[in-house]
Chains A and B, each alone.
Chain A
């Protein structure tokens, strides 16, 4: 393992480590644009120059591997001047778009310019003009003038997705990122190029002009778009509620996890948050009768549901749980079922159109917590519950999240079933055709509005944290279920999500020994499960090179 010295500090690294990474481990930042640990070395931006003893000129750090005895300086006058020069070169043709550019506040031209720049621009000639505001597929917007031609996006489409849609056309300062004319950027990971673009050349169409990034707060979380549970950061806008049409969740960004999703997030998951601030959000408990829907308070709703559970014989009560519920929610539900002896419970309602996974991260199972629903013992035969309802054998049906009228079941059968059940209870985040037919509607907090854990398809338990307040009176399901359990004479595990997780880890062997602390921000495997890590990116299986 080569041992080298950087800015006077010694460090030992694995063979093959480049100087940017070696310096990073010492907490030393070597500014760079084109380098990205997931992508091939381009050596194009020329910003990462460092001084290496016995080398006459500054050398790029990204393409230099640590060697034994190497002595590196990242803070010499020469290196500082080199950075200044590179910043000037980068800004020669860059448009002064900051006031209208979404990247402002998280732009690496801004950041490095403030740290390393000349401050006295002397470029007074006409800049090169290129296309602006060019849509690249449904999610990405290109501004070719802002592009610093680091080629990260091109390499991403070649080496990660293997789709090769992007290229750098022409030459000299007329070089331009673009798609093949007439084609579009439509791979499942298109918006990742926005993440890796250091500047505002590639921006998210969904986020365009919504809110300034310095108003955003962030919380670590997990994507709920499929069973992989890619790690994310949820960015919420709390401080400027009059921006972004009042949407609280501004965007989701991938969070690095070496075992789950690396640096990436698929487009399906990335945009799977519209429902949180959408118009169909349920904000208050409601009772629904022939006269319509009436908002009630939680006390009323809780006692009405608890009462129904007490009144009906358990064999006439069925529950359609959901793999969208968190571990804590499922555990609380199990306690209720146990307390009342209810055995008819299932979660596997067939979707209207079965989804497909792709050859990288996206799973066919578009729910985040199926594995846990199985392990916690809530798996049953959903079809027989439907049949029981249609056959008039159920007096109470409690539906979590599903819109049963928009599933793979014939909607006429579902309508018939719902019509024959005396008390239909719906718990979920958003209203749908099923909640419209429920007698009691209990609003659930969305996952970004609370904390908890999901168990991914491999058995990795991952924490998601609160990013925003619940909307209106919505409650986390473990919370409203806990209250119902208490009202029905049972004992809830506690007043925090973690209490329910402890209950889970003590009761279900797969989760034994797991704690919130142990799960941390990278997750923990359940007993007996092994992680297969991040799948090989399609681009590395069949390289498409520029």
Chain B
């Protein structure tokens, strides 16, 4: 099938150790990068068409280039290891099985953006990955890979999905509630502790060593015109072999489901969430879509964190929406009005619907409230909630209406 790039070391025994990583060619890219100008590194990443793999899909090289050229103070590199998007588990694997790949990616990125200090923000629940990664960092220090112009601080979160939003993460890193920051200013201008900051996802940075090692053109060539490389698709739900699968971004959703062994339960596919809980749902006849940023955007949804959740005919869409509505109500940080107030209200309405006490106007009310709030909030969390609110009801409306007796 496709190239195995990100998961290349996973099956090696002790893949998380420096010795094994080095033995497999690890830190060779860093050697190369050390001889490159920072601007050349950024250019290579730009040419590779690498796009953020945490959720937003922003071109990584372009993001790096937003650091002001004339800035004389510190620049920070922050790694978003606050994986929390429902259906996503790829970063957990990378932290546990190939932590040095992340460290090497950080070294190269830090050189590109001229950062001397990096923070890795790991969600608080990921205790084993945190220990694994911290051990790798210690190895890197002992081997003088770190501490030679670049330091890493490993920081544990404390349980809040919103800390996966890049500026919510920065607020949390600063020792506050994970309240996202109003933009402008953007993190590249004023981020962590008021300094220019680049926030990148774990997986995104793990792509960087292969890009430097094997070339931007190679990476770009694996994908589409607008997105290069491979990525790790987390496939779960009603499939035979839920797991993380690496594929070039040209893979289709149908192909992924097949790789995961096909649909279980009734065996008949009903719907798929293609990009983590915040992505609009796709019906069974919409799965011949390429799983890249633009492919899914054109299909009216998003690749997000590439968390693929498969639903068979026996899954109740209203109940699935209830699960997610509760999630958004629970995780809303509460900072801005539309999200704070309506995530709770919509959860109550969906709950009433599922319990059989829905009113005939509830569905249109949910749709209207969601539309009115979309695009008005401080961060994209609410837009993530709107994805399921609107798509589940619009695409499976009869199933919802059946619950409304009157």
A76-93 CB contact bits vs B (8 Å, 1 = yes)? 000001100110111011
The reply to whether B337 and A46 form a contact with Cβ atoms under 8 Å apart is: yes
- Chain A residues near B352 (CB-CB < 8 A): 125
Measured in the bound complex, the distance between the Cα atoms of B177 and A172 in whole Å is 12
The reply to whether B332 and A171 form a contact with Cβ atoms under 8 Å apart is: yes
**Would A126 and B332 be within 8 Å (CB), given that A46-B337, A63-B184, A90-B337 are in contact?**
no
- Chain B residues near A170 (CB-CB < 8 A): 334
Q: Which of B239-247, B311-319, B342-350 contacts A (4 or more CB under 8 A)?
A: B342-350
- Give the contacting residue for B334; candidates A41, A46, A92, A149; CB below 8 A: A149
Measured in the bound complex, the distance between the Cα atoms of B272 and A231 in whole Å is 64
The reply to whether B344 and A173 form a contact with Cβ atoms under 8 Å apart is: yes
The reply to whether A89 and B342 form a contact with Cβ atoms under 8 Å apart is: yes
- Measured CB to CB, the closest approach of chain A to B346, in angstroms, equals 10
Measured in the bound complex, the distance between the Cα atoms of B349 and A72 in whole Å is 37
- Chain A residues near B343 (CB-CB < 8 A): 172-173
**Would A173 and B378 be within 8 Å (CB), given that A43-B182, A44-B337, A125-B349 are in contact?**
no
- Give the contacting residue for B333; candidates A46, A63, A122, A171; CB below 8 A: A171
Measured in the bound complex, the distance between the Cα atoms of B348 and A82 in whole Å is 23
- Give the contacting residue for B340; candidates A60, A82, A149, A545; CB below 8 A: A149
A34-69 CB contact bits vs B (8 Å, 1 = yes)? 000000011111110100000001101001000000
The reply to whether A125 and B348 form a contact with Cβ atoms under 8 Å apart is: yes
Q: Which residue of chain A is the closest to B352 with respect to CB atoms?
A: A125
The reply to whether B372 and A81 form a contact with Cβ atoms under 8 Å apart is: yes
B91-135 CB contact bits vs A (8 Å, 1 = yes)? 000000000000000000000000000000000000000000000
- Measured CB to CB, the closest approach of chain B to A174, in angstroms, equals 8
- Give the contacting residue for B338; candidates A42, A46, A58; CB below 8 A: A46
**Would A93 and B336 be within 8 Å (CB), given that A81-B372, A85-B372 are in contact?**
no
Measured in the bound complex, the distance between the Cα atoms of B375 and A81 in whole Å is 13
Measured in the bound complex, the distance between the Cα atoms of B335 and A115 in whole Å is 25
The reply to whether A85 and B376 form a contact with Cβ atoms under 8 Å apart is: yes
Which of under 10, 10 to 19, 20 to 34, or 35 or more describes the interface residues of A? 35 or more
The reply to whether A172 and B338 form a contact with Cβ atoms under 8 Å apart is: no
Measured in the bound complex, the distance between the Cα atoms of B341 and A149 in whole Å is 11
Q: Which residue of chain A is the closest to B181 with respect to CB atoms?
A: A43
The reply to whether A171 and B160 form a contact with Cβ atoms under 8 Å apart is: yes
The reply to whether A44 and B336 form a contact with Cβ atoms under 8 Å apart is: yes
The reply to whether A57 and B375 form a contact with Cβ atoms under 8 Å apart is: yes
**Would A89 and B341 be within 8 Å (CB), given that A63-B182, A172-B330 are in contact?**
yes
The reply to whether B341 and A58 form a contact with Cβ atoms under 8 Å apart is: no
Does B361 sit within 8 A of A, measured CB to CB? yes
- Measured CB to CB, the closest approach of chain B to A81, in angstroms, equals 7
Does B365 sit within 8 A of A, measured CB to CB? yes
Does A124 sit within 8 A of B, measured CB to CB? yes
- Chain B residues near A534 (CB-CB < 8 A): none
B162-200 CB contact bits vs A (8 Å, 1 = yes)? 100000000000001100001010000000000000000
Does A123 sit within 8 A of B, measured CB to CB? yes
Give A residues with C-beta under 8 Å from B: 41-47, 49, 57-58, 60, 63, 81-82, 85-86, 88-90, 92-93, 122-126, 128, 148-149, 168, 170-175, 545-546
What are 18 A-to-B residue pairs whose CB atoms are below 8 Å? Answer: A42-B182, A46-B377, A58-B376, A81-B372, A90-B337, A90-B341, A93-B344, A123-B345, A128-B344, A148-B337, A149-B340, A168-B177, A168-B334, A171-B334, A172-B330, A173-B343, A546-B176, A546-B177
Give B residues with C-beta under 8 Å from A: 160, 162, 176-177, 182, 184, 329-338, 340-345, 348-349, 352, 359, 361, 365, 369, 372-373, 375-378
Beyond A41-B182, A46-B377, A90-B337, 10 additional contacts (C-beta under 8 Å) are A57-B375, A60-B182, A81-B372, A82-B376, A86-B338, A90-B341, A92-B342, A122-B365, A171-B177, A172-B331
